Every structure is written in structure tokens, then in C-alpha cells.
Structure 1
Amino acid sequence: MIAPYLLRPIIVLGLLALAVGPASTLVNLRRAEFSAETMVHGVFPGIVVGMAVGGRDAIIPGGAVCAALVAAALTAASRKPRHSEATTAVLLTAFFSLGIVISLRIGDMSGQLESLMFGRLLDITPSRMGTSAVVLVVAAALLALTWRAQVAVAFDREASRVSGIPVTWIDVVFNAALGAIVVAASTAVGVLLVVGYLIVPGAFGRLLAAGPRSMVLLAGACALVGGWAGFGVSLLRAPRPLSPQACVAMGVLVCFAGACVLREIRARRARPRPDACETARETSAAGGGEQQ
């Protein structure tokens, strides 16, 4: 039987994969990787304040407040006709710098900086697991309920607006879901490593999938298999201790590397062989000579 302290991370990683499937797919389709990075770094001040005020159990509420502010700022920035990544970069720098300053200002909390950034997968308590589970399920439900509109906006914002889709509200839902996933995962894999979960699975699905729906399934599978496999590797005996969070992130990256190899193998098989091309040309030339 699996020990409770091992079962809780497995459950959280499974629910994270459920929410990451559609979220990472939309990040890839929207080309919103930089916005996802901004969301990941932007919630840091709220997480620091939450931990300073109420301990690790207050990380999610504190991060949620900051995530709402970042989501509102990203949505407002996306509405500008000449939106550029400069605005997003300013948001990322401002929020993350504020979090670092607050963390260092609170003297007895500065030692927890590494824990806040990279998480503690084996220290998940039942209460934090329950809160994370609720937040991740809500994020997945938001994206599922607006999925068709999300895909339409990802492919063509102007056509979606003309067809009557409330693009601004779709952006709000998308950014809110990203913020919820970041906050829920921060107690497990930290606010920095979660960016890999928002970007890599979607890229994995993009390499192998034939459409958005299959991208969601493949992205979720990448997050699930990579996360569980990496967590399993971290439990193996090694000369030096392995970080569970780093192993989980590496597991997802290994899945992506495997997808790159598989994509290359498919591409090589699809290419016509030189000898086959020469045979086809000779056959065509012979057929033309007979007709003459």
C-alpha cells in the first residue's frame, strides 16, 4: 500500500495533468508562452505575503489575489490595438521584483525563498491537497465550458469578434484558468517549475497531434506520464538526494524530447527515397516514349 505522503503528490500531479491538458494546448495555440511566464512570476508576491501571514496553508489564497491582478492586467493589455510584449515584460519584472523585495524584507522568511520558488512535493498536507484539487478542477471546468470559443479566439481573434464571441471575456477566463493552475501547483512544484507544465505539454501535443482535441489528450498524457515517471525516479536510491520537483520537470521534458524524435522519424519515413524517385522518373519517361 502506498504511504499517504507519497499518495498525495501522485493525486496532485494527476489533477494537475487534467487541468494542464487544455490550458497548455491553448497557450500553444495562442502563442501565449510569454504571458504564461508572466503569470507564473506574477503570483510570487501574493504567495510570499500569504506564507508570511498564514504559513503554507495561506499560499493559495494569497497567490489567488495576486493572480487575479495579473490576469486583469494581461487582459487589459491584450485589448490594446498595438499590444506588444513590452507591456507583458514590464508586468513580469514588476510583480516578480516586488515578490523578491517582500521576501527579503521579511527577515525570517528569506530562508524560505527556495521553497516558494521550487515547491515541496513531499510536504503536501491533506488540507493543501484538497484546496489544490478544487482549484485545478475549477480551472479545467472553466476551459471545458468555453472550449469552442477559446479555440476560435486562439486561431483568429478578429473573426471571433465579428461572429459574436465575447473575446474579452474569453481572455478573462483563459487568464483566470492559468492563474488558478499556477497558484494550485505552487505548493507542489513551486512557482518557477510550473511554467514547464504550462508550455511543454502543449508543445508535445503540437508535434504529434492532428487537431486541438487530440492536442489536449496528448498534452494531458505528457504531463501525467512525465510527472508520475519523474516522481518515481526521485524516490530511487541515489548517491545524492534527488529533488522530486526537478525530477517531475525533467520527466515532462524527456517526454517532449521523445516526441521530437518520433516526429523526425515520421518525417523521414514520409520523404520519398532517391532511388524511388529515379524509378518513377524512368517509368514516366518510358511511358512517354511509347506514346510517341
Structure 2
Amino acid sequence: MSLPAHISLILDLTPVPWAALSRASPPLALRSFLAQALVFLHAHLALRNENSVSVFGALPGRSVGLYPPVSRGSRDRGAEEGADENTFHVFQQVDEGLMRRVEEEVAGLEEVEEDAPPALVGALTKSLCYINRLANPPPPLNPTDAPPPAPHARIVLFSVSPDASVAYIPFMNCIFSAQKLKVPIDVCKIDDSEVIFLHQASDLTGGAFVHVDQREALLQYLSMCFLSETETRKTLAVPTQDKVDFRAACFCHKEIVDIGYVCSVCLSIFCKPVAQCSTCHTNFSPDTLVRFGGVGMNGHGASNGTTA
């Protein structure tokens, strides 16, 4: 018998890219995107009664949990009072709870926050913590009862923003944590901005990376590429990545580099030879700096003898 499945959705809610998408051709407004994402969640929940979802938002400079609500009491009572008898109650809870929280968070953004990069790392961290809690539930009150089975969990990340190279180190830590938890990271890229790190995230965790070329068919992309489980995808023709850019960001200027100089002690990456590693404070010999400094100008080599 197959285990239940859990999908953790991460929504990039940065206002500036969404404003640009709403004016693009074809346009895709945030409200229209949310409506299609909700249909995708409905389909996942309808596949099995035990399936579950969680949603996290990456806003400029901060991340928030959007669903399920932190405090259920009053919100659940309000949902029950206004329940639609023609709508499956789980669908209505997800719809109303998610839309309410997104509207609250977007409306609460200050103008000074809108230019900050989205907090994808924070959203990924919250998502992985939530999945880890599902994988390690508390023991049942009755010792004779069997604990609930841990669901097959995966993350589906919707991106409309370019990479933030300043977040390279914590982002890679999230990828390694997802690998350890065996949680695939699927990436749905809606706009045309460059995202090297998200390519790496999906490839290293065994997830799928799909760029939505035709935004008017977003729901079809979601249904065909992200609804199936990782085991099921082995028998389906799911889009794959032809090539993955594994460039890294330097630790000194937080910029993506083609050729880097790596500390052989802590593996920190620098765009130029340095006398001392800023991470572990290892001092490099002057001969090494002269030798690799000269070679580095020709585009080869690495500090302390290691090539990035």
C-alpha cells in the first residue's frame, strides 16, 4: 500500500515581478496564478484522502507560513459558519485560508520592502522544518496505537525572481538538508529571469525544473509535470534538464564566478587570490599567491592549489 503524499508549496510573492507579468504578453496576474495553484492543490488532495499540503510565501526580505494557519480555533469556526454545502470542505478551507493570508501579507508590504530580494531561503527552511515534523510525529497518547505513517514529501517552488547570489551559502545548505531528508525540490519558473541556483536545487534533489513558456497553459504544466509522484515519473515523459549550470558564488563579493579560487581547508570560494581566507582565517604562502596570482590572470588555477 502506497504512503500518503505531502506537497509543500513555496510561492514567490515579490510585487515587482508580478506587476511586470500582469502587463506582459500573455499576461498572468497574481490572482489568476493563485486560482490555478489552488486547482493544482485540489487535484493533489483529491488523489488520496490522507494527502496533505502546506504553503509558504517568500516576500521581499521575509518569509511566512500561509497554510495551514498557525492558530486554527477562530478561523476554523468562521470557515464552518460560512461553509458551502456544494464544496468539499477541505478545498474550501485551503481556498479561503490561503487567499486570506496572501491578501494580508501583500497588503502589509511597505514600499521600502518591495525592492528587497525574496526570502526564498527562509521559505525553504520553514518548509523543510515542517516536512521534518511530519516525518517525525510525536508518539501516540495510547502506547498500543501505531504512529501515523510518514508521508512522501516534496517541495514545489514557484519562482518569478532572479537568483540572489548573496544567499548562495544558506541556499546550498537548504539543498543539502533536502537531500538528507530525501525531499525532491520541483521548480516552476514562470518568468524569464536567470536562476542558476534553482537549477542546481532541482537537479541535486531529484526534482523537476520546468520553465513555463506559455503562461496561459500554466494549469496544464502543473498537472502534467508536478502532480505525479517521483516514483510515478519514472514511467512518464516528464521534462528533464538538458544541462545544469553548476557555477557558484564567491564568498567575498557574492557574485557568480566562472573560475574561482578555493580554500583547501574550508572550501570557501573567492573570485581572486587572497592572502587569508575570510572564513577559516587560513594564511596562504606568498609563493602560492604569486604563482596562482600570475596564473589566475590567464584564467586558470586556484588559491592553495584547488580549482573551483
TM-score (norm 1): 0.30
More strand by share: 2
TM-score (norm 2): 0.29
More helix by share: 1
With a CA cutoff of 8 Å and minimum separation of 6, indicate the structure with the bigger relative contact order.
1
